[in-house]
Amino acid sequence: METAASPSSLLADFPPATPILLVRLRSLGDIVLLTPALRLLKQWRPDLRLSLLVESRFKELLKMIPEVDEALTLRDPSGDGSPFQIARVIRRHPFQLCLNLHGGPTSHFLTALSGARWKAGFAHFRMKRIYDLLIPDARLILRQPQIHTAEHQAAALFWLGMPSGPLPRSRLAVHAEDLEWWETERVLLDLPQDCPYAVLHPAALYATKQWPPERFAQLGQYLEEQVGVMPLYSVGPGESGTLDAVQRSSPRPIRRLEGATLGQLAAALKSARLFVGNDSGPAHMAQALGAPAVVIFGSSSSVIWGPWPREDRNQRTWVVQNEYACNPCPGDHCYRYPKPECILSISLEQVQQAVESLLRATGAASDGLPQTPTSFVPERQKGE
């Protein structure tokens, strides 16, 4: 195994057009939160050739990241491909650096077989022996006691020689064909051009992160009747049942956006007056596309996993979360209460207040909003 003379100058010493592979297999939000680091890297070294390896379901997302020169995809377990097949594809590339930002068994396997001259991964990864370069704890690199996921991923590049600096916003670019699709689709959904609309995303990976569907239904009714913003409900593949639950609590048929590709969802988010959703990939997409967003958090940490940047000076993003001593937790179920109180305790009034504050901050005058601004102070409830 070769030893780098100085990891802190590795990226700086690469010759022009050096090919680099970054492994970030999943998830949707993690990939979006990688874009600030990629933007910083390309601003510094626009000549580097960046390939990004993700699961095939996220391939279309990479088309929206201008900094990615090549998208490589690993088929999902249900597909007809295998890690061995993508390993053969990777080895055809003369990668000088393979940076594993994922850390799972498959990513270790692909990094080991990448053929890259330098293989880098975090020091806490289990299969340390396959790496030439072990990256220290990101908190030590940044000298911060707690860091955001976007900072964690950028820290690896800082340690490898990218000059440290403030991270830019997450960013995605929408393609013309998806914007054209949305212009047609919104007519079918009865959303005319002069009609402001909100994308509401009631789905989430776990019940501990999913605000009740009936409250999303109440929020949609509030937006339509009192604020003059039409609600559009979105879900991903296999999540139609969540929209069915919203419909059962709604007084009228809801507008449903399901079966859309990631590019088409991005087009809908790009033109939205507002996004309201659970802690999920689409929430990060909304932030990266510049849509004003209210994100509802339950079991996960909004400090670590919230939209980036954490401090939005333009007040285009509001996080609603009640404080519990057991937060964060793995989230696959509630480890302390019979039901996930962290997400269930968030009231409709809290989310409405966040929506009102956001719309005022982003310049949306509406007769439906109270004349006196409602201060948004989340109810604080601490678990014992």
CATH of the domain at 258: 3.40.50.2000
Q: Are residues 247 and 147 in the same domain?
A: no
Q: Are residues 139 and 194 in the same domain?
A: no
pLDDT in tens, 153-190: 999 999 999 999 999 999 999 999 999 999 999 999 99
Q: Are residues 130 and 202 in the same domain?
A: no
Number of domains in the chain: 2
Average pLDDT over residues 146-150: 95
Pairing between strand 70-74 and 97-100? Answer: unpaired
Report the amino acid identity of residue 285.
M
pLDDT over 60 (residue 376): no
Q: How far is CA 259 from the centre of its chain?
A: 19
Domain boundary among 132, 159, 186: 159
Q: Are residues 353 and 247 in the same domain?
A: yes
Q: Are residues 153 and 192 in the same domain?
A: no
Q: Are residues 130 and 64 in the same domain?
A: yes
In the chain, the percentage of residues whose pLDDT exceeds 70 is 90
Contact indicator for 283, 293 with CB cutoff of 8 Å: yes
pLDDT value at residue 45: 98
Positions of E strands within the chain: 19-23, 49-55, 70-74, 97-100, 118-122, 133-135, 197-201, 230-234, 255-257, 274-278, 293-296, 317-320
What are the φ/ψ torsions at residue 112 (nearest 5 degrees)?
-60, -35
Residue 336 belongs to what domain range? 176-361
Task: With respect to residue 344, please indicate whether it lies within any of the assigned structural domains.
Answer: yes
Q: Are residues 117 and 252 in the same domain?
A: no
Residue 360 in tokens: 């005022």
